[in-house]
Every structure is written in C-alpha cells, then in structure tokens.
Structure 1
Amino acid sequence: MTEASYLDIPPPANRSIGDKGARGRVVIFSKRFKMSYFTRLVKETLANTRMAGWLGRIPFVEAAYGRYALFRTNHTGLFYGVYGSYEEALAAIPPSRLAGWDNEASASIWVDNIHQLNPYFIQLSSYAVLFWLLRIIREGTSLIDFGGSIGLTYYRYLRFASLPANARWTVVELPKIVAEGRRVAAREAAINLEFETAIEAVPECDILLSAGALQLMERSVPGLLEMRAAKPPHIILNKISLTPGEAYWTLQNYGPAISPYRVYNEAEFIGYFENAGYELVDRWAVPELDCYVPFHPERCVPAFAGFYFAKQD
C-alpha cells in the first residue's frame, strides 16, 4: 500500500500563479508501493535482523544468495555484497552480466516512458527537487544535471513550468545514454536541453543537480566539486544513500545490468560540501528508496536523503 498527501506546487519566482505549469495540487506519495512477499522477506529477514548476520556466517549461504541475486534480470533493486572499493565491487560482477550503465539496454529504460511522468502524481523527493528548482532557476541560468539519464528531471520540470529565457539545461551522462537522450530530445522537440559526456565540457554552472546518480559513479564525493573550475552557487542532490557508520560499496542488480553502488558516511558526505563553503539550506527524506544488503544488518539504509546546498558569500 502507499500513503499519499497533497501539496501545492508554488509558482516560480519569475512567474505568476496563472502562468502555464505554475500551479497545481499534486499527489505526493511518501511510502513505497506494496512489495512482493519474497522481497519483503529478504529485506526483513535476510537483511535487517539479528538472524541475518548469523545466517551470513553459515558457509556458502551468502554465496548461494549471490547466485540468485546477481543472475536475475526480471527484478530490480536487489543488493549483494559489501566491498571496500569501486574496483573490488566491479570485479565481483559475473562475466555473463552487463556491468554499469553505459550499455544500450540500460540507456533505453526510459526512452518510451517520458509521457508517463505524470506531473500530479509524484514521489516526495521529486517534489522537493521541483520545489527548489522553481525558486532558483532564472533567466540565463545554466544548470548541469549530472547523471540525469535522458533528461527525466527536465521533462518533469516542464510539466510545471517552462524554462526561463536563455536558461540552459545540460545533462552530463555516459555515452550510450547521451546518444539516447539526444534522440529523445529531437523527438520531443526539447528546447534548451543539451547533452555532454564530461562535466568539464560545460562552460558555466549556476545550479548543479544530481538526482540519484552519484552513488553509481566511481568518483563523486569527494571529487565532485574538483571537476569544476568554479564552484556552482547552488547544489541540489537527491536520492543519496547514507549511513552513520563506515562507508562501503555494494552491488545493485537493477535488471538489465549490475552496477557498483556506494553508500556514503553521512558526516563525511555533508562535511565535504560544508568545508567547501556551502550552507545546508534544506534536507528531506527519500522514503521510497532504501538499501538492504542481505546478511549485513549493520549496513542497512532504511531511507535515502536529499539536500540543497547554497554557496556562502
């Protein structure tokens, strides 16, 4: 089951309540959809109980689960293993499975579903991102959507408002996804939407946005701000996996392929931006996402988080 509430999307700062997309009551879903019995069993028994740690110490049990979790292609969101680095996690992916996101199967996941992004039926975390974007995007704004797939947040934004004059939205993605993104943008006659394969290739950045991709990257935090010659005034990060304990890598089987998946130490993650001169303006929960690694109950992340950082003068 889901739990829903209603929130009003505010008008952008540079538009009135009567403008296109600047109004609307939306249904905000704050809990996950009903999961299958097996998925619930895995999360509650194999990943988040004392029994889970005990079972993991039985010879071959965790390896047997790994054969199940890593070879399925019809179930997304299965996690497996704890690793000390991206390289170690990558090496654990079976040779018969696609690795990472730079492949045609992964790039095409959302190609034919752009119009299914119902603007009045969104997740809580997506509302938070739109809430801040509608306030800080201005004429001439340059936004980098780092790991933005084929432009999903761009198309969602357009359900509520048009981009201001001369604003530019640049998605930085892997080559296969960039190719699909450009094809979809041409099909949709998208305005002011561009694609690049390197964040350094984008000349200006007023807003740095990343909505759920940082933990899939070999280098992100630390390292994200160092990729830019100048620090952006605004940073919006969504769907971030955090733990109060030690940071680690795991593997996520998302269906078409398997990817290394990072869980950050919370204090280190926030401190990285604060030490670079940013103020944490807002933080929100992402209850629709979690990370449960079977047989490692101490590693459980029951809900992800989102952040808005603003550079201090």
Structure 2
Amino acid sequence: MNKALKNRIINSIELLPYGHDLYLHMARKRLGITYRGVYGSFHEAQQQGINQLANEYDVINQNKGEHLEQEMPVLDKRVLDIDYPLLFWLSRLMQPSQRLLELGGSIGQGFYSFENYFPYPDALQWVIAELPAAVEAGRKIASQKGETRLAFIDSNDMGEEDAVDIFMTAGTLQ
C-alpha cells in the first residue's frame, strides 16, 4: 500500500468518534503501546505483564518524530468526546496574558485543536511539559507553524518553570 493512501486511511480513522483510540489499538505494537486494557484488579494487570514495561512511554515518545507526517493533517482536528469538559472550563478560565502549564500535552494536539472551539486570549503562553522526544517533536512542529504562543519543556524541569495561572493535565496522571 502506498504511503499517501495509508496516511489517508489513518487520517480518516482518526476523524471518527473514538477513532484515535481505534487507531492506537490497531497500531499498538508498532508504536510500543502495550499498557491499554481493562483488568479486574491491579494484580491481574501485573500478571498480564503490564508492570514489565516501565519505560513504555519513552518508547512511544521516541517514535513521535518518526510519525510527524501522519500527525500533521489531524493535529488541529483531534478533539475527543472526553475533552468537552476541559474545553468548556478552559474557555471560561483563560484571560489575557496568562500562562498555562500542561503536563503531558504530547506534541500540542490540545493547543492546536482547542482553538477551533474558542479563541485564545491575547498574549497567552501555553507551556507543555513532556518527555524529551515529544518535546523535540513539538518544538519542530511549532517552529514549522510559526507558533510563538506554545513552548515545550522537559517534564523533569517543571520545578524550574516560572509561575503559571492554569495547570492542566488530561490523561497523564493515571
């Protein structure tokens, strides 16, 4: 299958309701995603080998730069149903000249896609704290887009970051 057709299929899947989850399920082995599943207990999950992959997020983030051409067409279109409460409250909380720190914002999907639903206030600074490979990929995309409101830092350096007005994390803590 040629690369352009494959990218169109992936982009089409991503636009379906829950399409991103479907894509991740289909591509989990290639992307190194093995942590998904429903288990009756923590012990059951451990028995399935979940705990043996302590660095799986590093594997996923190392692959971020390899899949940028697939991410770019849907980067500003990916809003999940579960993002609605976040969109609702952010649109009411944000004020001009605020700093927002997002823990685990990947390469900036939230930043790029949320703006389709409400305008960002003037002089907004949105900082994403992520693992190193995602920081590198996110910076590359922001540079290509000429986006100056978005910055990326290594999550290990969060303690050195200036004060923020809003702290946000969606799906990172668990």
- Give yes or no for contact 2:76–2:109 (8 Å, CA) kept in 1: no
Residue type at the aligned position of 2:88: F
Quote how far apart the aligned CAs of 1:185 are.
0.6
Structure 1 segment 244-263 matched on structure 2, within 5 A? none
- Give yes or no for contact 1:139–1:164 (8 Å, CA) kept in 2: yes
Give 2:52's match in structure 1, choosing from 92, 113, 118: 92
User: Does 1:214 pair with 2:173?
Assistant: yes
User: Does 1:168 pair with 2:125?
Assistant: yes
TM-score computed with the length of structure 2 as normaliser: 0.65
TM-score computed with the length of structure 1 as normaliser: 0.39
Residue type at the aligned position of 1:102: D
1-structure distance, mates of 2:133, 2:31 = 22
Residue type at the aligned position of 1:116: V
1:183 aligned counterpart, secondary structure: helix
- Give yes or no for contact 2:104–2:129 (8 Å, CA) kept in 1: yes
Structure 1 segment 195-274 matched on structure 2, within 5 A? 195-197=152-154, 198-215=157-174
- Give yes or no for contact 2:31–2:63 (8 Å, CA) kept in 1: no
Residue type at the aligned position of 1:214: L
- Give yes or no for contact 2:32–2:56 (8 Å, CA) kept in 1: no
Question: Is the strand fraction higher in 1 or 2?
Answer: 1
Quote how far apart the aligned CAs of 1:101 are.
2.1
Structure 1 segment 268-307 matched on structure 2, within 5 A? none
Task: Name the counterpart of 1:116.
Answer: 74
Residue type at the aligned position of 1:115: P
Larger radius of gyration: 1
- Could you say which structure has the greater relative contact order, defined with CA pairs below 8 angstroms and 6 or more residues apart? 1
After superposition, the C-alpha distances for 1:49-92 in whole angstroms (9 at most, x for unaligned) are xxxxxxxxxxxxxxxxxxxxxx9447956448945xx9xx7862
1:214 aligned counterpart, secondary structure: coil
After superposition, the C-alpha distances for 1:82-107 in whole angstroms (9 at most, x for unaligned) are 45xx9xx78623xxxx9322345432
2:68 aligned counterpart, secondary structure: coil
2:121 aligned counterpart, secondary structure: coil
Across the two proteins, how many residue pairs are aligned to each other? Answer: 145
User: Does 1:137 pair with 2:97?
Assistant: no
Residue type at the aligned position of 1:212: G
Q: What's the C-alpha RMSD, in Å, of the aligned pairs? A: 3.7
Q: How many percent of aligned residue pairs carry the same amino acid?
A: 23
1:185 aligned counterpart, secondary structure: helix
Question: Is the helix fraction higher in 1 or 2?
Answer: 2
Where does the alignment leave 5 or more consecutive residues of structure 2 unmatched?
1-15
Q: 1:147 to 1:110 in 2, by over 3 A?
A: farther
